[in-house]
Chains A and B, each alone.
Chain A
Amino acid sequence: MASRKKGDPPRIDAGMSVVQPLVPARGDRKSFRLPWYGLSFSMPILVWQLVFFVFPLAFLVAISFWVVRNYRMVPTFEWLNWSYMLSRGFFWDAYLHTLAMAAGATVLVSLVAFPCAYTIAFKFRESLKQLMVLLLITPFFTSYLVRTYSWQVFLSDNGILNAALDQLGLGPLPMLNSTFGTYVGYFTLCLPLVVLLQLFSLMYIDRSLIEAAHNLGCGRVRTVFQVVVPSARIGIVVAALFCFILTFGDFVSPLYLGGGQPPTLSTLITDTTKSGQQWPRAAVIATMMIVTLLITAFASIGFAYRRRA
């Protein structure tokens, strides 16, 4: 075939078949278009996230490289705060303590919540179920801080619970300013939410799966572990993740019900900022917390949506 120059019109062969030019026409490029319709709805939230989440976060990380001279922060880029914080025993003590407390709360709250969510989902009739959902939402009407303060009235050495124990000739038990107190706070913070999230995943399990398990020789209790829990895995894991995130970063319960000793990371942050304006060191702690939460979140979501065991 004879060579052709770019832009030649298509030639018609003897056989009447159209010979296409070797270079595609210009018009083919318009396939890339911005989805303006979708963007018009999602733009406001994207801008909001950018301004009030991404920028502050970047700023927080940036601060962790600044230094404090004469009680004033100086913008620079030094690893000083990182090497200082990460080599301190008290930081790692607080880190491990916070991790252990949050992990413990996650396991305990999930274990306490599950039978409750299970009963509501499978044993209650529809109208009662709706009432339960409503009741589980009501704790959120009151500020968490207020609820925490009201626990002090119950838990303190001369509080309501110890007065009751005294009547029985027992106590007083040191409930306030203890790990127990912190856990009471964590339960107050997380339990209703965890029950709700578990409940929603349990309610939508196909009942015929449970019947099929029974029908194949799987008894009642075994069915819970063989079928109900695997079916509700996403909901159970997401509920636990919420519990971990909320308790890991919680400042109120460890301080007002747990007495602040030993310190959790959030307590450590306030202490660090108060002592000598060490915002950069506090930023290091905060960044470490965020990284921990990100890793936990990715790992749990990955586990929840993993295709199979």
Chain B
Amino acid sequence: MTQPLVVFDNVVKHFGSFQAVECMNLEIYKGEFVAIMGSSGCGKTTTLRMLAGLEKPSKGEIRLNGERINDLYSWERETPLVWQNLALFPFLNVIENVEFGLKMRGMAKAERRKKALLWLERLGLEEFAERDISQLSGGQKQRVALARSLVTEPPILLLDEPLSALDANLSVRMQSVLTGLQKDLGITFVYVTHSQSEAFAMADRVVIMSRGRVEQIGSPQEVFREPHNRFVAEFVGGKNILVGTVTALGDASLVRVSSEHGEFQARLPDGKTVVPGDRVTVCLSAEHVDLSVQASRPNRLACTVVGEEFIGSMVNIHLEAKDGLELQVQKMHADYDQLGIRSGQQLFAEWDAESALILRGE
């Protein structure tokens, strides 16, 4: 296996008594698009800022190309960052902003102007070269910030929620600009966001953080299909969580679980073993739950329909079991229409044993 580009080796960061990042271990490879996500205050921005050299780790080691960079100042490393507010210099025009990094590296004026123009062209900004920053739209500013960071041809680009200020349509268009750039350049992108949809749409791997800890690292598919714990399951959304006790081991990876809501079968993830009596957390994806008026499968709960919401092509149906447990079910519009569901209706929520996943962690 090739040497990773970036290594976080037991990195800890605290501000006074506040533990911002607890024992971070992460390897990022060349050409990867890694998204670090979590809710605000989870330590994702601090992680990125440590990599950019804007914060110093309290403990542990950060390596870039195998070399320890803990003690290098930000201006001594090649880790350009795109700020959430973009941090474009308002006293410089567009091309001067883009040239800034080259100027700092002592490149001659004619050469750096040529190079900056090339990047402006690449991002479709050549006609704005002499404009003031204040005369640009949000999306144009975004592209100037990208050009300014990429003009020095760094091995890695760090992005701190760069799309959060844009409207939804523009944000989606910028996502494809970003992924396109990343593929073309073949460099590593480390992207911090609180938006699950941005992370899942763009990243090869996502890192989910909560309260300074890494909760799970994996491809978007892995994280969505097999969340490691309750936090990740709730963070990625569209999951129902049931807590119960293992009563019997079945064939292969299926076990019987007894919960206060009833008994059902659930699947163990690879490598996890349980014995009867263990407490387990079971995750049931909203799209894997079926609804029927007549009970037809062994894994089911009797529920009442309490509400529904339309999200694009899907419908989220909210159910309540008789002991107050809330379930959500996701259906395509056609299926939903066929069911003819109305609020207050009694029906069964059913699922296949394979769809109920026992989580590795709590």
Task: Determine if chain A interacts with chain B.
Answer: yes
**For the complex, is A216 an interface residue (Cβ under 8 Å from B)?**
yes
A218 with B75: in contact, given A308-B93, A308-B132 (CB under 8 Å)? yes
Across the interface, do A211 and B74 meet the contact criterion of CB distance under 8 Å? yes
23 A-B pairs within 8 Å (CB atoms) are namely A208-B83, A208-B85, A209-B87, A211-B83, A213-B89, A213-B100, A214-B74, A215-B74, A215-B79, A215-B80, A216-B152, A217-B75, A217-B104, A217-B105, A218-B100, A218-B104, A219-B73, A219-B75, A222-B104, A227-B89, A231-B90, A231-B91, A307-B132
> Least Cβ distance of A129 to chain B in Å?
19
**Residues of B contacting A214 with CB < 8 Å?**
53-54, 73-75
Q: Which 7 A-B pairs have the closest CB atoms?
A: A217-B104, A212-B87, A208-B87, A216-B101, A214-B74, A230-B91, A218-B104
Partner among A211, A219, A227 whose Cβ is within 8 Å of the Cβ of B54: A211
A212–B105 Cα gap in the complex (Å)? 15
Interface residues of B in 68-105 (CB under 8 A from A): 73-75, 79-81, 83, 85, 87-93, 100-101, 104-105
A233–B90 Cα gap in the complex (Å)? 12
A289–B149 Cα gap in the complex (Å)? 50
Across the interface, do B92 and A308 meet the contact criterion of CB distance under 8 Å? yes
**For the complex, is B148 an interface residue (Cβ under 8 Å from A)?**
yes
Q: Which residue of A lies closest to B49 (CB)?
A: A211
**Residues of A contacting B73 with CB < 8 Å?**
214, 219
**Residues of A contacting B52 with CB < 8 Å?**
215
Across the interface, do A209 and B89 meet the contact criterion of CB distance under 8 Å? yes
> Least Cβ distance of A232 to chain B in Å?
10
A213–B80 Cα gap in the complex (Å)? 10
**Residues of B contacting A217 with CB < 8 Å?**
75, 101, 104-105, 152
Across the interface, do A233 and B91 meet the contact criterion of CB distance under 8 Å? yes
A215 with B91: in contact, given A222-B104, A307-B132, A308-B132 (CB under 8 Å)? no
Interface residues of A in 233-271 (CB under 8 A from B): 233
Partner among A216, A218, A222, A308 whose Cβ is within 8 Å of the Cβ of B91: A308
Interface residues of A in 271-309 (CB under 8 A from B): 307-309
For the complex with contacts A206-B87, A214-B54, A216-B149, 11 further pairs of A-B residues with Cβ separation under 8 Å are: A208-B83, A208-B85, A209-B87, A211-B83, A214-B53, A215-B52, A215-B53, A216-B152, A219-B75, A227-B89, A309-B91
A216 with B132: in contact, given A208-B87, A209-B89, A211-B87 (CB under 8 Å)? no
A112–B148 Cα gap in the complex (Å)? 34
> Least Cβ distance of A256 to chain B in Å?
42
Task: Using CB atoms and an 8 Å cutoff, list the residues of chain B in contact with chain A.
Answer: 52-54, 73-75, 79-81, 83, 85, 87-93, 100-101, 104-105, 132, 148-149, 152
Across the interface, do A212 and B83 meet the contact criterion of CB distance under 8 Å? yes
Across the interface, do B75 and A215 meet the contact criterion of CB distance under 8 Å? yes
Do most interface residues of chain B lie in helix, strand or loop, or is the interface mixed?
loop
A219–B76 Cα gap in the complex (Å)? 8
Task: Using CB atoms and an 8 Å cutoff, list the residues of chain A in contact with chain B.
Answer: 206, 208-209, 211-219, 222, 226-227, 230-231, 233, 307-309
A212–B80 Cα gap in the complex (Å)? 8
A74–B277 Cα gap in the complex (Å)? 115
> Least Cβ distance of B156 to chain A in Å?
12
> Least Cβ distance of B74 to chain A in Å?
4
A76–B101 Cα gap in the complex (Å)? 66
A208–B202 Cα gap in the complex (Å)? 26
A307–B149 Cα gap in the complex (Å)? 24
A215–B151 Cα gap in the complex (Å)? 13
> Least Cβ distance of B70 to chain A in Å?
16
A71–B153 Cα gap in the complex (Å)? 81
**Residues of A contacting B93 with CB < 8 Å?**
308
A227–B75 Cα gap in the complex (Å)? 14
Q: Which residue of B lies closest to A214 (CB)?
A: B74
A227–B53 Cα gap in the complex (Å)? 19
Instruction: Specify which of A213, A230, A231 lies most central, judged by the most chain B CB atoms within 10 Å of its CB.
Output: A213
**Residues of A contacting B101 with CB < 8 Å?**
216-217
A216 with B53: in contact, given A208-B83, A227-B89, A308-B132 (CB under 8 Å)? no
Across the interface, do A216 and B104 meet the contact criterion of CB distance under 8 Å? yes
A78–B253 Cα gap in the complex (Å)? 111
**Residues of A contacting B90 with CB < 8 Å?**
231
**Residues of A contacting B105 with CB < 8 Å?**
217
A308–B54 Cα gap in the complex (Å)? 29
> Least Cβ distance of A156 to chain B in Å?
47
> Least Cβ distance of B125 to chain A in Å?
18
**Residues of A contacting B100 with CB < 8 Å?**
213, 216, 218, 226
A309–B92 Cα gap in the complex (Å)? 8
**Residues of B contacting A230 with CB < 8 Å?**
89, 91-92
Q: Which residue of B lies closest to A212 (CB)?
A: B87
A226–B90 Cα gap in the complex (Å)? 12
Instruction: Specify which of B79, B93, B104 lies most central, judged by the most chain A CB atoms within 10 Å of its CB.
Output: B104
Q: Which residue of A lies closest to B85 (CB)?
A: A208
Across the interface, do B81 and A215 meet the contact criterion of CB distance under 8 Å? yes
A222–B52 Cα gap in the complex (Å)? 19
**Residues of A contacting B89 with CB < 8 Å?**
209, 212-213, 227, 230
Partner among B85, B92, B148 whose Cβ is within 8 Å of the Cβ of A206: B85
A215–B159 Cα gap in the complex (Å)? 12
A236–B169 Cα gap in the complex (Å)? 42
> Least Cβ distance of A290 to chain B in Å?
32
Instruction: Specify which of B75, B101, B149 lies most central, judged by the most chain A CB atoms within 10 Å of its CB.
Output: B75
**Residues of B contacting A227 with CB < 8 Å?**
89
> Least Cβ distance of A221 to chain B in Å?
11
Across the interface, do A216 and B54 meet the contact criterion of CB distance under 8 Å? no
A226–B103 Cα gap in the complex (Å)? 11
A206–B54 Cα gap in the complex (Å)? 15
**Residues of B contacting A226 with CB < 8 Å?**
100
Instruction: Specify which of B91, B100, B101, B149 lies most central, judged by the most chain A CB atoms within 10 Å of its CB.
Output: B91
**Residues of B contacting A219 with CB < 8 Å?**
73, 75
**Residues of B contacting A218 with CB < 8 Å?**
75, 100, 104
